[in-house]
Amino acid sequence: MFQKFIGLLRVLAASSQLQPFQNITIQSSGIDRYYLLTLPPNFDSAVPTPVIFSFHGGGDTANEQFELSQISNPEFNDFAIAVYPNGIKKTWEGVPKVKTNDIQFTSDIITNLSSKYTIDTSRIFATGKSDGGGFCNVLACDPVLSTQIAAFAPVSGAFYVKNETACKPETITIPCNPGRTKIPMLEFHGGEDNVIRYDGGGRKKECLPSIPHWIHDWARRDGLSVKNESMELKGTNDTVVYEWGSGDDEGLVKHVFDSSIKHDWPSTVNSSDNTRTGHERASFNATPIIIEFFKKHQLA
């Protein structure tokens, strides 16, 4: 009981650092949709400000992603507007049988933000968990949105691929038609993920590529050598960072593999993910790594 009380205090302490959010309703594809928004500390309306999209996982909401990802925590994010879109029926385009036009919704949010704020259109970023992580890949592969979003960082991403024959996670062709090359991509995954398995496989009558195959495909798509550099993440003994690219492209594609965690947003404090039965806190926080990655990239 005492440990649960301490855990609750940690969650409350983290939440207390979050900036208060606004709830914004817009029309998209003839439907009322909403997103949550926070402004960074010392926001100046006269200064072009970056934007970070944070997409929730399947079965969750924008409010839950606000709490889970901590993108609005000024301890991590002191420079960007944070946006938490809400998916219809708690999921996103790209998930099997989902018919909503969330690519258009994302575009409409960018237009809406541009009408209200001076945003830095060269520094718009996207992260997300599970189905929301998979939707980051949908955006990165879209001919238009890939030219408007500078970098992507899916967490425990669900990268569904339609297949007419047997699912072969290590070799399946992954459709992707981005409108530019050299797209920065950072992916996090747990070796014990029992929802979106690291080695891929059939799910919801479609195929999930293995995560190594998916990330190698992004390195190839970005024109990078298949050779990678690997290093243990500082301060951990169960997490390896793989990087592709050299010279100006060093670390353009990155993968953070935590062998211990399950289907979680990695965090060192208690969260709605890691307090579930059988889950555990990670040995690192994903959010500051994501923020650092975003700060390194912008559209030319």
The total of other beta-carbon atoms located within 10 Å of residue 179's CB is: 13
Which pLDDT does position 277 carry in this prediction? Answer: 96
- Counting every residue written for the chain, the total comes to 300
Q: Which residues are registered as beta bridge partners of 206?
A: 203
pLDDT digits (tens, 9 = 90+) for 83-139: 999 999 999 999 999 999 999 999 999 999 999 999 999 999 999 999 999 999 999
Burial class (CB in 10 A: 0-12, 13-18, 19+), 272: middle
Which pLDDT does position 3 carry in this prediction? Answer: 41
**Is the pLDDT confidence value at 155 over 80?**
yes
Query: Which DSSP state fits 233?
Result: P
pLDDT digits (tens, 9 = 90+) for 179-212: 999 999 999 999 999 999 999 999 999 999 999 9
CA 66 centroid distance within chain: 13
The overall average pLDDT reported for the chain is 93
**Is the pLDDT confidence value at 10 over 80?**
no
Q: What's the mean pLDDT in 20-43?
A: 96
84-112: burial string, b at 16+ Cβ within 10 Å, e else: bbbbbeebbbbbeebebbbbebbbbbbeb
Q: Which residues are registered as beta bridge partners of 201?
A: 208
Residue-wise DSSP of 1-12: -HHHHHHHHHHH
Is residue 108 classed as helix, strand or coil in its secondary structure?
helix
Comparing 1-5, 63-67, 255-259, the range with the smallest average pLDDT is 1-5
2-295: CATH number: 3.40.50.1820
**Is the pLDDT confidence value at 15 over 80?**
no
Is residue 128 classed as helix, strand or coil in its secondary structure?
strand
Which pLDDT does position 7 carry in this prediction? Answer: 40
The confidence band for 226, taking pLDDT boundaries of 50, 70 and 90, is: confident
pLDDT > 90: percent of the chain: 91
**Is the pLDDT confidence value at 12 over 70?**
no
Q: How far apart are the first and last CA of the chain?
A: 53
Which pLDDT does position 297 carry in this prediction? Answer: 98
**Is the pLDDT confidence value at 169 over 90?**
yes
Domain boundaries, the chain: 2-295
- Using CA atoms, how far apart are residues 88 and 140, in angstroms rounded to an integer? 21
